[in-house]
Structure 1
Amino acid sequence: MKLVVVGAGIYGLSTAWAALRAGHSVTVIEQGMVPNPLASSVDRHRLIRYPYGAFEGYARMIADAYSAWNRLWADLGERHYVETGTLAHHFAPGDFADLSAEVLARMGIAFERLNPAELDTRFPMLSAEDCRGALWLPSGGALLADRIVTGLGAYVRAHGRLLEGIAVADLDPARATAVLADGRRVEGDRLVVAAGPWTPRLMPDLAAHLRPVRQVVAYAAVPARWRAAWAKGPMLLEVEGEGGFYAVPPVDGYGLKLGDHRLDGGPDDPDERRSARSTEAATIFAGGARRLRDFADYRLVEGKTCFYTVTADERFRIEAVDQALVLSCCSGHGFKFGTLMGEKVAAWLDGRLGIAALQEYAAGKLLS
């Protein structure tokens, strides 16, 4: 069939990749150039890991996600992934680390529980201050997001059609048609809308369910004393109460990335405030003070912005509207499932997966 995809982030391009592999004709439309630095998918890296707190369905999808990424690496001829291991700090009974451990035990995924003394020995660049211990897994790591999107864009150019630098002005779901800003109509048999934080603008009926939220991340230079330790250091997850501090080690020549996974605020306009103010970057950077040993020796390099598209329950949402499928697979944790969900959408296109099953799977509610 002829498939039209609106949006060339990880979900739009992954859907195109999977549909092209299945023999369909695909046109992808992107308002910027691929990779678009304003897209939610485009930054230096995104994380993939098994610990998922109470979201057991998503934890059980991780193995399938790794398999889908391996199929993409084979098609691209390059592996854009660096394994770092996963360290999730434990603060109180029943917290993210505890819930993750319970799920991992049910899944048969090996992990260690480290006490503060063991943490100080194993990860000397980190302080165990204020924590009861941590959950440690050797699996998990950084997906090199900008390189992945670049590679997927090249794949679509080679095997399908990629229209870049042209915005979509309107959609006609009943006719599986996208109307471009210059008046052209791109028609297909099916339409997939994967426009990230611009989705509520294109599909106003879904605006009440999809909330674009602006995020700021900081990149820091590691002091010489700890460069060797960080070179083999883990991703760091600190989910405590409403907070969500995380750190990504300086993999593949990139700096240490610090972020805060708070999903409050919004809705924000994805066309506004796209540069991080110095004060915002400094606030995110300061979040590492209690955990990074010798924090005064770290140096803030830059701040960047990213937009999440958040649902009320932080689960992915897929809606079928006439001949269109609207993908909102974000809430700040969607990138790792991009290729997997692209394959699931292709299965829906082929009639191998019903819409209800696709929606349940995307919401992380199928536990088998």
Structure 2
Amino acid sequence: MRLVIVGAGIYGLSVARAALKAGHDVTVIEQGRVPDPLASSVDRHRLIRHPYGDFEGYARLIPAAFAAWEGLWQDLGRRHYIETGTLVHHFRPGDWADQSAAVLDRLGVAYDRLSPADLDRRFPMLSAEGAIDALWLPSGGALLADRIVRDLGEFVRARGTLLEGIAVADLDPARATAILADGRRIAGDRLVVAAGAWTPRLLPHLAGRLRPVRQVVTYAAVPGQWREAWARGPMLLEVDGEGGFYAVPPVDGYGLKLGDHRLAGGPDDPEDRRRAEPAEARAILDGARRRLRDFDDYRLIEAKTCLYTVTADERFLIEAVEGALVLSCCSGHGFKFGALVGERVAAHLEGAHIEGDEDVAVLHAWAAGSVL
């Protein structure tokens, strides 16, 4: 099979890796360089964890996702994952923490309930203010995203074709063809579109279903009195009604990462508003004020923007468009499934190339987290 992939983020490169391992001829086209700092896949970290609110279908996929990453580390010859454990604050009956706990109970995933006193003792750099208790799981941690994308790019360059620095101007899905900005036509037996926030530009009929959402993340220097505690610190998920934030400990020797769970508006143009404004960065950092002890001792190092591509229900989209398969596996929580989706999509394409597209509806439902 000759496979053409548009987009060299985590999904495009993961499909390419799996297809190359199966012996197929793969060409990946990327408008920037790999890793591209504007891509949704590229930042220092992405999180993987079992708690998932009431998205039980995705929680069920987490063990398979971990297994797929283990296979990827073997292919790359190095691990880009640091386990931190997962801490989820619980604020009121029926909230995101309670929904997560109910799903974990059904799946048989063990966790501890930590009282405020337990939290103060085990995580002294954090205040338990406002929390009834918290879920604690030793599993979960940080996938080092930019390093993963970089090494996957090297994997594809060594075994297939990676065209960088050239935009795709148009698609001919029926002919499985990408038309480049310089007029070249790259044709295959199958075409995969994994272009992130640029997908609606290439396939305008999806613009009403795929919405770019601009996110700001910040990195803060940890004060000296809490460096040792944060060196053993957890990933923190705090979902409280419409608000909340997440934190990633300084696992890579840089800073404490803080982001906002809320989905803000996004630019119509994916290249627009890519600079984080000082007021935006300050608002993200201030969102953690009640949680971080000695908050005023934390110093902002850097702020970045990232574009998610979000569906209305925040579930992933995989569907056929004539001779193409479109992947929009983001909605802000997709990176953790990158290796797994790549394997599943490559297997589908291999079977579909021989037998037809009968199972694309099953693939779509699986990606939407609705197959239990």
TM-score tier after normalising by the smaller chain length: over 0.9
SS state of the match for residue 302, structure 1? strand
SS state of the match for residue 15, structure 2? helix
Q: CA contact under 8 A between 2:209 and 2:312: conserved in structure 1?
A: yes
SS state of the match for residue 20, structure 1? helix
What is the CA distance between 1:133 and its match in structure 2?
0.9
Residues 11 and 244 of structure 1, relative CA distance in 2, 3 Å threshold: farther
- The unaligned stretches of length 5 or more in structure 2 are 353-357
Identity across matched positions, percent: 75
Counterpart among 364, 368, 371 of residue 363 in structure 1: 368
What is the CA distance between 1:81 and its match in structure 2?
0.2
- Aligned counterparts of 1:103 and 1:281: Cα–Cα separation in 2: 34
Match of 2:229 in 1: 229
SS state of the match for residue 296, structure 1? helix
Q: Which one-letter code corresponds to 1:362 in the other structure?
A: A
The answer on 1:30 being equivalent to 2:30 is yes
What is the CA distance between 1:267 and its match in structure 2?
5.2
- Aligned counterparts of 2:103 and 2:367: Cα–Cα separation in 1: 19
SS state of the match for residue 99, structure 2? helix
Q: CA contact under 8 A between 2:44 and 2:145: conserved in structure 1?
A: yes
SS state of the match for residue 253, structure 1? coil
- Aligned counterparts of 1:73 and 1:307: Cα–Cα separation in 2: 26
Q: CA contact under 8 A between 1:82 and 1:142: conserved in structure 2?
A: yes
SS state of the match for residue 272, structure 2? coil
Match of 1:57 in 2: 57
- Aligned counterparts of 1:11 and 1:68: Cα–Cα separation in 2: 13
Which string of whole-angstrom CA distances, capped at 9 and with x for unpartnered residues, describes residues 273-310 of structure 1? 11111111111111110100000100011110000000
What is the CA distance between 1:220 and its match in structure 2?
0.1
Q: Which one-letter code corresponds to 1:12 in the other structure?
A: G
Match of 1:195 in 2: 195
What is the CA distance between 1:242 and its match in structure 2?
1.4
Which string of whole-angstrom CA distances, capped at 9 and with x for unpartnered residues, describes residues 182-216 of structure 1? 00110000000000000000000111100001110
Which string of whole-angstrom CA distances, capped at 9 and with x for unpartnered residues, describes residues 322-348 of structure 1? 110000000100000001000110111
SS state of the match for residue 350, structure 1? helix
- Aligned counterparts of 1:323 and 1:345: Cα–Cα separation in 2: 14
Match of 1:298 in 2: 298
- Aligned counterparts of 2:94 and 2:254: Cα–Cα separation in 1: 34
What is the CA distance between 1:268 and its match in structure 2?
3.7
Q: CA contact under 8 A between 2:47 and 2:142: conserved in structure 1?
A: yes
Which string of whole-angstrom CA distances, capped at 9 and with x for unpartnered residues, describes residues 81-122 of structure 1? 000000000001011111111111111111001111111111
Match of 1:131 in 2: 131
Q: Which one-letter code corresponds to 2:131 in the other structure?
A: C
Provide TM-score, normalisation by structure 2.
0.97
Match of 1:180 in 2: 180
Provide TM-score, normalisation by structure 1.
0.98
Q: Which one-letter code corresponds to 1:112 in the other structure?
A: D
What is the CA distance between 1:226 and its match in structure 2?
0.3
- Aligned counterparts of 1:255 and 1:324: Cα–Cα separation in 2: 41
- Please list, as runs of the form range in 1=range in 2, the aligned pairs for 1:228-307 lying within 5 A after superposition: 228-266=228-266, 268-307=268-307
- Aligned counterparts of 1:80 and 1:152: Cα–Cα separation in 2: 11
The answer on 1:351 being equivalent to 2:356 is no
- Aligned counterparts of 1:225 and 1:296: Cα–Cα separation in 2: 13
Match of 2:355 in 1: none
Q: CA contact under 8 A between 1:219 and 1:255: conserved in structure 2?
A: yes
- Aligned counterparts of 1:121 and 1:148: Cα–Cα separation in 2: 35
Q: Which one-letter code corresponds to 1:322 in the other structure?
A: E
Q: CA contact under 8 A between 2:44 and 2:144: conserved in structure 1?
A: yes
Match of 1:341 in 2: 341
Q: Which one-letter code corresponds to 2:148 in the other structure?
A: I
- Aligned counterparts of 2:208 and 2:251: Cα–Cα separation in 1: 38
Q: CA contact under 8 A between 1:20 and 1:160: conserved in structure 2?
A: yes
Q: Which one-letter code corresponds to 2:359 in the other structure?
A: G
